[in-house]
Amino acid sequence: MLDALTSYLTSNTTPGQAGNVLWALIYIFIVFGGVSVAVMAMNWLERKALAHFQIRLGPMRVGPHGLLQPIADAIKLLTKEDIIPERADRLVFWIAPLIILCASFAVYVVIPFGPTHAITDLNIGILFMLGVSSLSVLGVVMAGWASNSHYPLIGSLRSSAQMISYEVAMGLAVVSAVLMTSLNRSGTGTLSMIGIVEAQQQQQIWFLFKFFPLGFIAFVIFAIAMVAETNRAPFDLPEAESELTAGFHTEYSGLRWSLFMLGEYAAMIAVSSIAVTLWLGGWLRPFPNTLTGATWDLVFSLFPGLTFLALAAVAGVGVIRMPKDPYFRVQTTGLAAFGMLLGVIGLVLFAPPVRDRIQDIFWFTAKVAFFMYMYIWYRATFPRYRFDQLMRVGWKVLLPISLGVLIGTAVVGVVI
């Protein structure tokens, strides 16, 4: 038993490729648990950051600085009455959130958090990701139709039109990045997520800067299309509050509604991971080829620990600034304990064996976290598009540009 557990650790592939069912299951639990925690953290961060953008405080009551707010929300949603409208199509109404949840979680199977830290590595990795995440539009359409109500139907019609339109530009941008992987001696590209990052390592450049500005334009197109694809502001027309109350999930409540939210945030993390993998070098640390040598390796391997220590310091400042009133004593101790926990994690990450294994995951997560913050930033900054503007941007601006970039990449790749 123990032998079966440890024998994998020395091997150099993902558990899926090694055919190791046990470790594949362990990876699946780690990844899915991690994503669920990340969704909760994202939920808190979004409310806090949005509030500060708008000069409010945001959640402050549940736990110090509202840190326990996501847990309180989860309990509220789980205990809420689960309503199915009387004239709704019960079966479809029941299946729709499950489809969205499954589609947005299934893509995590191929996301590479490190050279061996993926559940599996498919030969058709990126195609699998795009295909499975395109299934989530089915869930949206089904939810809108099954509710048997006007707002959800209009919301889901808008949503399906929007998601299909932006999928085209998104796919073309992805293809131009995949083309870049074939610029090696053997001349064969790859669709595998791990292979794409390795190609960037071989060519010693992130695809973001490859054939400047072609790679950069493709990246920008993907970054715009992925916001539209996940129905987030400024492209959140399917759930535009001012016109459609809540769009396709107007009739949903309680647990089912929370499944929609979970699926939406999981999909956001998933598409951000695609962007990171294709253009930002996946798990590679910054400057892996120019800043080489043992010293630089050491400097970069200290980053994970330092990040957690910085977070602990922020919590420490929070403890000092907490009002001294006895009423706040529980909150102050709670925040101090949380800060200590972060500090301990930071110190653990400095230990050499942990440090070396955690690095890839840290850089990947840091890049994805940047995208997640951008999502919040967009939402606080941009006003919502009108529907005809949205369609015009998708078909008349993004699609021609991405076609041009694709042709340009192919031409430059052949000429060079």
Partner 1 sequence: MTPVATPFFFYFLSVLTLGSAFLVITSRNAVHSALALILALLGQAGLYLMLYAPFVAGVQIILYAGGIMVLFLFVIMLVNLERSQKEEQYSRQWLAGALAATALGVLFVAVFVKGKALFPASSVPVAESSNTQQLGQLLYGPYMFAFEIASLLLLVAIIGAVVMAKKRI
Question: Which x/- pattern, by CB under 8 A, does the window 259-298 give for partner 1?
Answer: ----------------------------------------
Provide φ and ψ at 256, rounded to 5°. -60, -40
| Contact call for residues 274 and 176 (beta carbons, < 8 A) | no
Residue 122 or 217 having the CB closest to partner 1? 122
Residue 60 or 157 having the CB closest to partner 1? 157
Q: How many residues does the chain have?
A: 416
User: What whole-number distance in Å separates Cα of residue 402 and Cα of residue 292?
Assistant: 35
Tell which residue, 45, 70, 133, has the closest CA to residue 375.
45
For residue 147, the minimal CB distance to partner 1 (Å) is 12
Stretch that binds partner 1, among 75-83, 85-93, 267-275, 297-305 (CB under 8 A): 85-93
Residue 12 or 188 having the CB closest to partner 1? 188
Whether omega for the bond prior to residue 15 falls within 30 degrees of 0, making it cis, is no
Among 24, 177, 179, 191, binds partner 1 (CB under 8 A): 191
What single letter denotes the amino acid at residue 157?
L
Among 30, 33, 56, 123, binds partner 1 (CB under 8 A): 123
167 counts as binding partner 1 under rule CB under 8 A: yes
218 counts as binding partner 1 under rule CB under 8 A: no
Stretch that binds partner 1, among 78-86, 87-95, 274-282, 377-385 (CB under 8 A): 87-95
149 counts as binding partner 1 under rule CB under 8 A: no
User: What whole-number distance in Å separates Cα of residue 47 and Cα of residue 65?
Assistant: 11
User: What whole-number distance in Å separates Cα of residue 403 and Cα of residue 408?
Assistant: 8
| Contact call for residues 265 and 73 (beta carbons, < 8 A) | no
Tally: H helices and E strands in the chain: 18, 0
Give the burial class of 260: count Cβ atoms within 10 A of its Cβ; 0-12 exposed, 13-18 middle, 19 or more buried.
buried
Among 124, 345, 380, 391, binds partner 1 (CB under 8 A): 124
105 counts as binding partner 1 under rule CB under 8 A: no
Residue 148 or 253 having the CB closest to partner 1? 148
Largest CA distance in the chain: 73
12 counts as binding partner 1 under rule CB under 8 A: no
Residue with tokens 């399917």: 238
Among 40, 62, 85, 134, binds partner 1 (CB under 8 A): 134
Instruction: List residues binding partner 1 (CB under 8 A).
Output: 18-19, 89, 91-92, 95, 122-124, 127-128, 130-132, 134-135, 137-138, 141-142, 144-145, 153, 156-157, 160-161, 163-164, 167, 188, 191
